[in-house]
Amino acid sequence: MSDRAAEIRKLAELAVRFGANVQRGQVVAVGGELGQEPLVRAIARSAYEHGAKFVDVTYNDLYVKRERLLHADEDTLEYVPPWYGQRVLAIGEHHCARIGLSGMAQPHALDGVDPIRAGRDQLPFLAEAAQVVNQRTTNWCAIAGPSPGWAELVFADVEPREAESRLWDQILHVLRLDEDDPVAVWKRRADTLTGVARRLTENRLDALHFEGPGTDLVVGLLPSSSWMAARFETVDGVVHMPNLPSEEVFTTPDPARVEGHVRSTKPRELNGTIIRGLRVKFEGGRAVEVDADENGDALASSVQRDAGAGRLGEVALVDGEGRIGPLDTIFYDTLLDENAASHIAFGSAYKFTVDDEADRARANESAIHVDVMIGAPDVAVTGVTGDGRRVPVLVEGRWRI
Amino acid sequence: MSDRAAEIRKLAELAVRFGANVQRGQVVAVGGELGQEPLVRAIARSAYEHGAKFVDVTYNDLYVKRERLLHADEDTLEYVPPWYGQRVLAIGEHHCARIGLSGMAQPHALDGVDPIRAGRDQLPFLAEAAQVVNQRTTNWCAIAGPSPGWAELVFADVEPREAESRLWDQILHVLRLDEDDPVAVWKRRADTLTGVARRLTENRLDALHFEGPGTDLVVGLLPSSSWMAARFETVDGVVHMPNLPSEEVFTTPDPARVEGHVRSTKPRELNGTIIRGLRVKFEGGRAVEVDADENGDALASSVQRDAGAGRLGEVALVDGEGRIGPLDTIFYDTLLDENAASHIAFGSAYKFTVDDEADRARANESAIHVDVMIGAPDVAVTGVTGDGRRVPVLVEGRWRI
């Protein structure tokens, strides 16, 4: 039988000491959802033991959001109190550490809610958080946080206790916490991915071509788009792992040059609803048709939120060697599901993956950032250079570059 | 059998529509503790139904505070991130409504924690909250919020379900929610208390003299101290009930003129510990000796926090007609227990109960505000005028003024 308290502590230690790499004297902002309390408290403990000055915890309660979506006046649903963004900017100004727990701890909170109304309320996502990421002032980590609610969603066909046990087993596996020295294993994996990123950047690709069942999509890149993976470094030189697990290599696309059509390869949770069988058609960089087998309205509403919401802010590649893909589990959680497959993201771009200032000004801006998984072993990815040369990048889940 | 959902809804409606008196288009800040989620969500629903623009919920988790008190560096325990206070000030600037739930939902979270370390961390109390109260920009209400944890603390000798049922019954009673028209009953009670406050102010007392077992205390008043009760009005003319229940008539004392000794008549929860049998000796307005049968250290540490922490910021009188006293229940909750008995408060003063500007500058200032119950049927309260005339105020729990 597993010792849950020990597992919680292991995960918390990984988040604090390796993921966010909390420094002595730092304030640590921790965000969790109700249902993740034991993990949040273990992270607080680990942070204080490691010399944190203060741990600033915020709990998100989707059942409060539900009341808003059901009962608030239609024209107030996009309102965000100014102090929400100001807090995030202050956390940036104070060079804090940030740890966020992913995983749908309250998976049924928004059941039956109108997806169009849900799409208008982007909270807890804040545009200022993307701004702080771009300024590289905070060492941060988003890490998968198991909870009873999430376990029941992912393993709906077994008893709640068995479901929770299976979720913990899989999360410990994908987080490499079943290894003797998880940090050493993570460092090797990060070395591989940053190597691929370096070679992709050196090839100075003009576009990526995705080809597979239901997908024929060309994503243009900016002349100085550079590829990144796994490890970030703050302006203060603190190295951290923004995502745990992290299996992707990503860059910033040209928001004006995306053409063709694409079919999602994984379900996608958005504002509490699950979008399945998504199909998007692009013209001139913009999503002109959004359709899905289920809940396409949620994304259709989100991509109309502002001028940049229907254009791409990220393109990411994932190989078959990560630990998530082989599990063949649908986690209904972007952090995990996106790391199982290559993906594109609607909305705000990371500007630090664009080297040239003029190009950086062209990177997409939006109040949203919504990843959609489009990769699979049967989706080939080919790079296209400015002079039309085709460079195989990812074939049957293996790097060819 | 009671219908808990209906009771929760009744309490939420009282908080929103009568207590805070939420106006259409207002942002409503709601503060609760983990364990009070159903009430918090019902308040959010009621606020949105009543036209709130946004409900900003913060959940406090004392188990996170526990980790701080156990593991953080000693010299960081008084640190508060600046954005905590900035948020409260912004809520004031935006003329929001504020609703806070009292009641120890996590009564054992700080068990075994060093009370001196606990006294150094005043959160979730913020000095800026007192500032916003003084500016009268927000319509606010602190209301008792039943929870399973609180019920088990108050009714420790019965089964958890029975305890929860008893707590709900008593809270519904003290909130007048067992009346056909609770709002009409509350309005009458508020009329009585504001009448007493008016007559006390008209008498222009120089001091109050408390006499009873273990108590012989003279509390000096400022020349322009005026008495208030029950109802406040914001700068925008919104009438609200700061406390529900509210049974007290209160004013601001002269922080330099408090002499004698006093014995507390009720246990007092402070930073998660319970102080019993408190004894305080005052000289020249300052607490010079603090002792107690249990956990006196928690208060002794708090009153040394800053220059004003050992001086009084409030004196309040409670008659025997309130609904809390007759229950003879110890709620371990200031909002309820203080409304069962007359009390004094260490720390920050409400400045709006001082009419003259020069006097207002003398009102006490501190980062803390800690009420201590000193009233009982056998504690007589006598007013003393500037020319030495003695005016009976409260005898055997009845108003004599």
Q: Does domain B3-174 have CATH number 3.40.50.720?
A: no
Give the whole-angstrom CA distance, residue B332 versus residue B104.
Answer: 8
Report the percent of chain A where pLDDT is more than 90.
Answer: 87
- Interface contact flag, A53 B76, Cβ < 8 Å: yes
Which segments in chain B show pLDDT lower than 70?
1-2, 271-272
- Interface contact flag, A45 B52, Cβ < 8 Å: no
- Interface contact flag, A57 B73, Cβ < 8 Å: no
- Interface contact flag, B59 A34, Cβ < 8 Å: yes
The answer, for A306 touching chain B at a CB cutoff of 8 Å, is: no
pLDDT digits (tens, 9 = 90+) for A265-276: 988 878 667 899
- Interface contact flag, B72 A94, Cβ < 8 Å: no
Which of B48, B50, B58, B96 would best serve as a mutation to test chain A binding (most A beta carbons within 10 A)? B48
Q: Which residues of A touch B84 (CB under 8 A)?
A: 56
How many beta carbons lie within 10 A of that of residue A71, not counting itself?
17
Size of interface A-B (CB pairs under 8 A): 114
pLDDT digits (tens, 9 = 90+) for A210-219: 999 999 999 9
Q: Which residues of B touch A61 (CB under 8 A)?
A: 37, 40-41, 57, 59
Taking only residues 166 to 225 of chain A, the set having a beta carbon closer than 8 angstroms to any beta carbon of chain B reads none
User: Nearest Cβ partner of B64 from A57, A73, A82?
Assistant: A57
pLDDT digits (tens, 9 = 90+) for A132-154: 998 999 999 999 999 999 999 99
Which of A57, A121, A122 would best serve as a mutation to test chain B binding (most B beta carbons within 10 A)? A57
Per-residue confidence at A1, pLDDT binned at 50, 70, 90? very low
- Interface contact flag, A54 B68, Cβ < 8 Å: yes
The answer, for B52 touching chain A at a CB cutoff of 8 Å, is: yes
The residues, any chain, with a CB within 8 Å of residue A37's CB and separated by 6 or more, are A59, B34, B61, B63
- Looking at the complex, report in whole angstroms how far the Cα of residue A64 sits from the nearest Cα belonging to chain B: 5
Count CA atoms within 13 Å of residue B378 on its CB side.
7
H-type helices in B220-285, by residue range?
none
Give the whole-angstrom CA distance, residue B64 versus residue B83.
Answer: 18
* Ranges of CATH 3.40.1830.10 domains, chain B: 3-174
User: Nearest Cβ partner of B51 from A34, A73, A91?
Assistant: A73
Give the whole-angstrom CA distance, residue A287 versus residue A280.
Answer: 6
- Interface contact flag, A90 B86, Cβ < 8 Å: yes
- Looking at the complex, report in whole angstroms how far the Cα of residue B92 sits from the nearest Cα belonging to chain A: 11
The answer, for A49 touching chain B at a CB cutoff of 8 Å, is: yes
Angle at A101 between CA A291 and CA A59, to 5 degrees: 100
Q: Using alpha carbons, select from B374, B137, B63, B161 the residue that is nearest to residue B248.
A: B374
The residues, any chain, with a CB within 8 Å of residue B196's CB and separated by 6 or more, are B227, B229, B249, B317, B319, B399, B401
Count CA atoms within 13 Å of residue A282 on its CB side.
25
Q: In which residue are the tokens 């500058």 written?
A: B361
- Interface contact flag, A86 B82, Cβ < 8 Å: no
What SS3 class is residue B35? Answer: coil
- Residue scoring higher pLDDT (A301 or A2): A301
**pTM score:** 0.85
Beta-strand relationship, B279-283 and B215-221: unpaired
- Residue scoring higher pLDDT (B127 or A344): A344
Give residue A75's identity as a one-letter amino acid code.
D
Q: Using alpha carbons, select from A213, A34, A361 the residue that is nearest to residue B61.
A: A34
Q: Using alpha carbons, select from B375, B263, B392, B266 the residue that is nearest to residue B317.
A: B375
- Cα distances from B317 to residues A380, B231, B250, in angstroms, run 78, 15, 6
pLDDT digits (tens, 9 = 90+) for A152-173: 999 999 999 999 999 999 999 9
Supply the angle between the helices B4-13 and B160-174 in degrees, to the nearest 10. Answer: 30
User: Nearest Cβ partner of B71 from A49, A76, A79?
Assistant: A49
Pull the structure tokens for residue B220: 């000096």
Is 90 exceeded by the pLDDT of residue A25? yes
Q: Which residues of A touch B39 (CB under 8 A)?
A: none
Q: Which residues of A touch B37 (CB under 8 A)?
A: 34, 61, 63
User: Nearest Cβ partner of B34 from A37, A83, A84?
Assistant: A37
Return mean pLDDT, chain A: 94
Which of A8, A46, A48 would best serve as a mutation to test chain B binding (most B beta carbons within 10 A)? A48
- Looking at the complex, report in whole angstroms how far the Cα of residue A197 sits from the nearest Cα belonging to chain B: 37
- Interface contact flag, B54 A76, Cβ < 8 Å: yes
Per-residue confidence at A396, pLDDT binned at 50, 70, 90? very high
The residues, any chain, with a CB within 8 Å of residue A70's CB and separated by 6 or more, are A113, B45, B48
Supply the angle between the helices B127-135 and B82-93 in degrees, to the nearest 10. Answer: 10
Give the whole-angstrom CA distance, residue B262 versus residue B257.
Answer: 15
Q: Which helix (H) or strand (E) holds B182?
A: helix B182-202
The residues, any chain, with a CB within 8 Å of residue A277's CB and separated by 6 or more, are A263, A264, A292, A293, A294
